[in-house]
Amino acid sequence: MGSITLEQVCKSFGEVEVIPGVDLQIEDGEFVVFVGPSGCGKSTLLRLIAGLEDVTSGRIVIDGQDVTVAPPSRRKLAMVFQSYALYPHMSVRKNIAFPLKMAGLSADEQERRVQHAAGILNLTDYLDRRPGQLSGGQRQRVAIGRAIVREPSAFLFDEPLSNLDAALRVNMRVEISELHKKLATTMIYVTHDQVEAMTMADKIVVLRAGRIEQVGSPLELYRRPANRFVAGFIGSPNMNFLEGEAAARLGAHAIGVRPEHFRLSMSEGAFAGRVGVAEHLGSDTFLHVDLDDGTHVVARAEGEFPASHGDRIHLTPQDGRLYRFDQNGSAL
Amino acid sequence: MARNISQSRRWGFTILAWGAALVIFFPILWTILTSFKTEADAIASPPKFLFFDWTVENYAEVQSRSPYFRHFMNSVIISVGSTLLGLVLAIPAAWSMAFQPGRRTKDLLMWMLSTKMMPAAGVLIPMYLMFRSFGLLDSRLGITVVLMLINLPIIVWMLYTYFREIPSEILEAARMDGASLRNEILHVLTPMAVPGIASTLLLNVILAWNEAFWTLNLTTSKAAPLTTFIASYSSPEGLFYAKLSAASTMAIAPILILGWFSQKQLVRGLTFGAVK
């Protein structure tokens, strides 16, 4: 079991209020991703749940138990850190067994669980090595191994993939998702990478300046962003925003169109402009277009699209794929 | 980046370095040489450098006149004891300053260091009176505690510096793994700080071994370490240079050997974290 409830959780560092008051319900077995730009308080929120920081006010409940003032060791949570935070003086085996040793398990039981975790994570051949002798991906797996042997009620991941190179990141992303399917344990995952958020999450929590901007499934956020911030943050490349006359015509302060929701034409369309940079990836073509009113937009065409630098191009938003925002940025 | 230094300048610097080293080492060399002279040769003018009648009589004389081994054991107990006691107090103190710093931690550290700037003679009388009241004069326990207190600021500062190099995430990981504070310090922090703790230990053993002001003033015979043993050979008439030198040589030999073998460790510890 691993349901987690946050009630009006606040955190201040001295005079500075980092988290002004967060309410959040995380269901048992859910994969929840906290996403937002750096400094939005997502890591702080995770550390509050872990018990590594004390809340200034509010309540944290795990499995119906109030753990607001409980030390980290009493919360039955496991955490994977960005820097892996392995114990450099211990072998992989001892690293993984450390939480078991602290829990006072017998040596046989420790070894059994270490072998089991090592099997799941392909670490069996490396058990006698030190962390310093492992690659980044292997270290990350050891950190995950150390987390899973405890059979915690929830896993906390603090940007676990940001120290890995791009190819490895994709692999580990899949591995963590598979692990979640296998273990069916609650996971809270912090990242600033919205692709990780979209691909892994059951539920995404978008944060800005310590406040929750929106909570929902990846596609809910993609299809119905609550405001301009979420609209701009979710989706890659970012949503294009147009203000002024074009927006006013639709009765909005700003309108938003995702790059993949433009129809492209060389001859006619709603907006006209000139191609600045054309990125031909084969599977997609990304065009960076300077519209006649000076706005810079990005449009995506599927497959190969015959446009290059300097070409004149026309863009039309697809029906029903246009978002309208008021003065405050809220969706209309 | 490699610098271009001409051959002649390189020679110049080498000679300068050897010269400086010789100046630093000369008093020790002279003490050792004098310890093998007769008392007459020891005060001969002009001084005799190598060509004199070599003798080990001084050593035999010193051995027979005072119990070297007892002083040696006192030195070992006092220097190692004060250092270990200091570490037991300083490890938790340095832990809290490095990982749970408060608003006044920096001030506290500076204040601790400032006590080292206080002239020891200024507190001699109150210390002496306190020792007398508590019956600690000439006791190993008393002098061990005093030397521990004197070196504690250095021990805390050195450990604080090493601990600051240890990423706090690793300690947080231990906390998440269910380690109590005691286990966190015992199983994670201390093993990771072993190089730093070792050089702190070595340096403080050396400092305590060489400490003379308090050992001379607060011990006489029972708890007297080697410093007192040396002092007993200096007399106002100054006619016992050779025996004094023999005593000094025997007093510094153990620590010289220890320092020689742990050179690498000491240098590594003292420059720990200077270059990442």
pLDDT tens, position by position, A118-171: 998 889 999 999 998 998 889 989 999 999 998 899 999 999 888 888 888 888
Hey, what are A261's tokens? 């929701």
Q: At residue B237, what are phi and psi to the nearest 5 degrees?
A: -75, -25
What chain A holds in terms of domains, given with CATH numbers, is 4-231 (3.40.50.300), 238-325 (2.40.50.140)
Residues 6+ apart with CB under 8 A from B260: none
* pLDDT class of A249 with cuts at 50, 70, 90: confident
Best B170, B176, B184 residue to mutate vs chain A (most A CBs within 10 Å): B176
Tokens of A300: 């995506």
Sign of the Cα pseudo-torsion (A110, A116, A119, A121, in order)? negative
Q: Do A78 and B176 touch (CB under 8 A)?
A: yes
Per-residue pLDDT reduced to its tens digit, A307-328:
889 999 999 999 888 999 999 8
CA–CA dist A121, B217 (Å, integer): 65
Q: What is the mean pLDDT of each run of 10 residues along chain B (276 residues)?
A: 75 94 92 88 81 86 84 93 95 91 90 87 90 92 93 93 89 92 90 87 90 88 86 71 88 86 72 46
Q: Which chain B residues are Cβ-neighbours of A78 within 8 angstroms? A: 176-177
Cβ contact A85–B191 (<8 Å) = no
Phi, psi of B10 (to 5 degrees): -60, -45
- ipTM summary value: 0.84
Which residue is it, tokens 């069916």?
A184
Number of H helices, E strands in chain B: 15, 0
Tokens standing for B215? 């050992």
Model pLDDT, residue B232: 80
Chain B closest CA to A330's CA: distance in Å?
38
Q: Model pTM?
A: 0.79
Question: Do A150 and B177 make contact, defined as CB atoms within 8 angstroms?
Answer: yes
**Inter-axis angle of helices A166-183 and A136-148, nearest 10:** 20
Is B192 within 8 Å of chain A by CB?
A: yes
Instruction: List CB contacts of A130: < 8 A, sequence separation 6 or more.
Output: A88, A89, A90, A91, A92
Question: Do the chains contact at B173 and A85, CB–CB below 8 Å?
Answer: yes
Q: Is the Cβ pair B176, A79 closer than 8 Å?
A: yes
For every residue of A240-252, DSSP letters joined together read EEEETHHHHHTTS
Whether A13 contacts chain B with CB within 8 A: no
Give the H or E element holding residue B253: helix B241-261
CA triple A227-A229-A233, angle to 5 deg: 120
Cβ separation of B173 and A87 shorter than 8 Å?
yes
Q: Which residue of B has its CA nearest to A74?
A: B178
Determine the Cα–Cα distance for residues B276 and B274; give it in Å rounded to an integer. Answer: 7
Chain B: residue nearest A80 by CA?
B173
Q: Which residue of B has its CA nearest to A99?
A: B177
pLDDT, mean of residues A98-110: 94
Q: Let me know how long chain A is.
A: 332
| CA B129 remoteness from chain centre | 26
CB A281 within 8 A of CB A246: no
> What gap in Å lies between CA A170 and CA A172, rounded to an integer?
6
**Position of tokens 């150390």?**
A146
Give the closest-approach CA distance of B170 to chain A in angstroms.
Answer: 5
Between residues 145 and 184 of chain B, which touch chain A (CB distance below 8 Å)? Answer: 167, 169-170, 172-180, 183
- The residue among B152, B171, B151, B148 whose CA lies nearest residue B98 is B171
Mean pLDDT of the A189-202 span: 92
pLDDT single digits (tens) A259-300: 999 999 988 888 999 999 999 999 999 999 999 988 999 999
Assign A53 to helix, strand or coil.
coil
Question: Which of A15, A52, A76, A90 to mutate against chain B (most B CBs within 10 Å)?
Answer: A52
pLDDT of residue B3: 66
Minimum distance, in Å, between the CA of residue A100 and any CA atom of chain B: 8
| CB proximity A99 to B under 8 Å | yes
Cα four-point dihedral sign B22, B24, B29, B31: positive
> Is residue A169 less than 8 Å (CB to CB) from chain B?
no
Q: Which CATH number fits domain B67-270: 3.40.50.300, 1.10.3720.10, 1.10.1060.10, 1.20.1090.10?
A: 1.10.3720.10
Interchain contact A103–B (C-beta under 8 A): yes
Q: Which chain A residues touch B167 with a CB distance below 8 Å?
A: 83, 85
What are the structural domain ranges in chain B?
A: 67-270
Are the C-beta atoms of residues A196 and A175 closer than 8 Å to each other?
no
How far apart (Å, rounded) are the C-alpha atoms in residues A313 and B194? 67
C-beta atoms of A99 and B178 within 8 A? yes
In this complex, which of B172, B176, B188 lies closest to A87 when CB atoms are compared?
Answer: B188
Q: Who wins on pLDDT, A74 or B50?
A: A74
Closest approach of chain B CAs to the CA of A85, in angstroms? 5
Q: Which residues in B lie closer than 8 A to residue A159 (C-beta atoms)?
A: none
The CA distance from A156 to B177, in Å, is 12
Cα gap B188→B173, rounded to integer Å: 10
DSSP per-residue letters across A136-149: HHHHHHHHHHHHHT
Task: Look over chain A and give the mean of its residue pLDDT values, rounded to a whole number.
Answer: 92
Half-sphere exposure of residue A261: CA atoms within 13 angstroms, side-chain side:
19
> Whole-angstrom Cα distance, residue B169 to residue A84?
8
Determine what percent of chain B falls in helix, strand and coil, rounding each to the nearest 5: 75, 0, 25
